[in-house]
Amino acid sequence: MDDVQFPASLPSNPLKRFVKVQLGRVLAALNPKYAQKIAAGELPSRLSTREWLLIAALVDRHERAGTLDELAPLHAWLWQGQQAVTFHAQAKERFSSWWLENQVAIVEPIRTLLDSPGSPYKTLCEIGCGSGLVIADLAERLPQLEELIGLDLSPAQSALNREQNTNPRLRFEAGDAVVWVPEHAKPGTIYMTVAGVFEYLPYKSLEKLFVHIAAEMKPAVIAVIEPIAQDYDLERETVSRPYGSEHSLGHNYVLLLRNAGFQIFYQREDQLGGARFLSVVAVCC
């Protein structure tokens, strides 16, 4: 994406990567306090050469140690800043080519749950709603819902979504799902992600969120559309694995949800944009 800086990406060229990482290690040794600030996600709005080098050394270290979940602050920096607005503006074509043509299939099992006798589900919360296009579409497709909440890390994007959507059933909030959901959500809610959101959360944070929803906020539904590695074996693998150049994480969502106390209601896979997407709807009553 033009003008969008994905901080956890490293050069694909081995020589360029080596040079960048080595220079970053030197800078980190010379200024360890600033390197610590980088690791905590305390970054300027635009990254300089110095920041890129320090990040390269940081990513390489976590990649070698198998601790890529420690990169969560870098991902949060991207998705809560102005660059997130730029990304969502440039990625609107995915709404048609990904959502409308393929991923919208997840609506049918959700509709089935909403139409079941005595259905308790009145609210849908899309975590990481981005441009707001999907949740606005869901408001039209699912009139059974009384309220639809679009939650996003970016305050600027959330404000923009409020300006562009006049449907009284739609509400947009800025916040981190790990904090916002336990504080504000209520029983009878469907929690949803589309095209990859939980991939930027550490395994332990995601596990804690699912367990909390199952224990404190049931009845609840979690519906996810998330990318995983092409060769990830959902039947045998239990550990999260890095996905793509961004060093986000492909989690075993089926296992995570089952372990938290959810029952799998729907499962499907699609190939979109060269990526493998797993769609899951899970219920906890």
pLDDT tens, position by position, 20-51: 999 999 999 999 999 999 999 999 988 999 99
Superfamily (CATH) of domain 87-284: Vaccinia Virus protein VP39 (3.40.50.150)
Q: What is the pLDDT of residue 2?
A: 58
Q: What is the pLDDT of residue 180?
A: 97
Indicate if the pLDDT at residue 6 is higher than 60. yes
Q: What is the pLDDT of residue 59?
A: 96
pLDDT tens, position by position, 144-179: 999 999 999 999 999 999 999 999 999 999 999 999
Indicate if the pLDDT at residue 263 is higher than 70. yes
Whether the CB-CB separation of 246 and 221 falls below 8 Å is answered with no
The predicted model scores a pTM of 0.95
Indicate if the pLDDT at residue 1 is higher than 70. no
Residue 199 CA to residue 60 CA, distance in Å, equals: 19
Whether the CB-CB separation of 177 and 185 falls below 8 Å is answered with no
Strand partners, 171: 149
pLDDT tier at 193 (50, 70, 90 boundaries)? very high
Contacts of 165 by beta carbon, 8 Å cutoff, 6+ apart: 132, 136, 172
What is the rounded average pLDDT of the residues 92-107? 94
Query: Which of the pair, 37 or 245, is modelled with greater confidence?
Result: 37
Nearest to 278 by CA among 217, 235, 246: 235
Nearest to 10 by CA among 245, 214, 193: 245
Single-letter amino acid code for the residue at 127: I
Domain coordinates of the chain in residue numbers?
Answer: 14-81, 87-284
Q: What is the dihedral of CA 49, 53, 249, 87, to 10 degrees?
A: 0
Q: Among residues of the chain, what percentage have pLDDT more than 70?
A: 99
